[in-house]
Amino acid sequence: MLSVNPTMLPRLDELEGDLVTRRQHAIAQGWKGEVEGIELTLTFLHSKRAQVHRSQQLPLVNLGIPSFPHSRPTTE
């Protein structure tokens, strides 16, 4: 599964607006298969948005990985 970076939420909003417009056009044209595909994509988009909001609620986890200073080995 791909995770969405929270900074991409405005892009998801943009995509949703485009999909809604495309769905309205497909409904007007009577393209039932296209409408169904767009609605499925909208469902996935809403799921990704909810995933981002849930991940922002979770506390950060300390993995306990030690950090090492950036030093060069000495040559003798």
Exposure class string for 44-70: b at 16+ Cβ within 10 A, else e:
ebeebbeebeeeeeeeeeeeeeeeeee
pLDDT value at residue 61: 80
pLDDT digits (tens, 9 = 90+) for 3-28: 788 888 999 999 999 999 999 999 99
pLDDT value at residue 73: 64
Q: For the chain, what are the domain ranges? A: 6-53
Q: Which of 7-11, 54-58, 67-71 has the lowest mean pLDDT?
A: 67-71
Higher-pLDDT residue of 69, 39: 39
Q: Confidence band (pLDDT; 50, 70, 90) for 57?
A: confident
- How many Å apart are CA 70 and CA 52, to the nearest integer? 34
